[in-house]
């Protein structure tokens, strides 16, 4: 994906406000052995690019003053209540250095899973993205999570998801849950408590002997 920027010389909050009034977005490129560079981008093309999921997790081709650099989107600052981008950060990437990126998860075959088809389970997406590390050329735009065999009452963990070649998961805690299938009412049929046995009837009172 491509993004176009120009170098900006003016610095400070006043200069940034002037850029925004001109429908520009102030930003910065940093990383690598090259000093950080302040940049400006046209707001509307950038705004529409940010609505594309892949723009957030792909290596981008940045055209800057006639040159080209490989970059990753690292941070976006939005206006509190307007659909306006206030500032944006990009990081340079090198072909031989691994990057650490959050990649979105795409859940596949949910409706055809045994959990849904046979048990009417509710599928909860505990995670919608995953931290990975890899070389830039191996970075996927998304990772598929196949729920074909997910059963009711079961969960799917990070280690259960096949990752593309050269991609490794960065786990904050050991093997976190990605998806869980819960049966409506709080569990599977096997989990339902058995009904309490009926109380035994009280013994009948002995009849008094009327004979004397």
Predicted confidence at residue 186, as pLDDT, reads 58
pLDDT digits (tens, 9 = 90+) for 82-129: 999 999 999 999 999 999 999 999 999 989 898 888 888 899 999 999
DSSP state of 21: H
Predicted confidence at residue 167, as pLDDT, reads 95
- The mean pLDDT value for 118-141 works out to 92
Predicted confidence at residue 119, as pLDDT, reads 86
Could you give the CA distance from residue 85 to residue 117 in angstroms, rounded to a whole number?
A: 43
82's CB contacts (< 8 A; 6+ apart) are none
Predicted confidence at residue 38, as pLDDT, reads 94
- The mean pLDDT value for 184-204 works out to 47
pLDDT digits (tens, 9 = 90+) for 7-24: 998 788 888 889 999 999
- Bigger pLDDT: 152 or 189? 152
Could you give the CA distance from residue 103 to residue 3 in angstroms, rounded to a whole number?
A: 19
């Amino acid at each position: 994906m491509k993004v176009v920027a120009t170098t900006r010389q003016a610095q400070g909050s006043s200069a940034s406000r002037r850029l925004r009034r001109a429908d520009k977005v102030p930003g910065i490129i940093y990383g690598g052995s090259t000093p950080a560079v302040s940049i400006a981008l046209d707001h509307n093309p950038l705004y529409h690019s940010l609505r594309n999921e892949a723009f957030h997790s792909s290596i981008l081709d940045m055209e800057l003053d006639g040159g080209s650099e490989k970059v990753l989107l690292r941070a976006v600052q939005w206006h509190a209540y307007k659909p306006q981008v206030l500032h944006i950060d990009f990081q340079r990437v090198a072909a031989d250095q691994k990057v650490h990126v959050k990649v979105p998860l795409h859940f596949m075959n949910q409706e055809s899973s045994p959990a849904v088809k046979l048990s009417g389970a509710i599928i909860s997406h505990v995670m919608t993205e995953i931290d990975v590390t890899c070389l830039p050329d191996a970075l996927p735009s998304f990772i598929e999570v196949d729920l074909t065999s997910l059963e009711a009452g079961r969960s799917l963990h990070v280690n259960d998801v096949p990752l593309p070649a050269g991609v490794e998961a960065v786990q904050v805690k050991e093997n976190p849950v990605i998806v869980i299938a819960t049966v409506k009412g709080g569990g599977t049929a096997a989990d339902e408590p058995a009904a309490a046995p009926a109380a035994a009837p009280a013994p009948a009172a002995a009849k008094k002997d009327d004979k004397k």
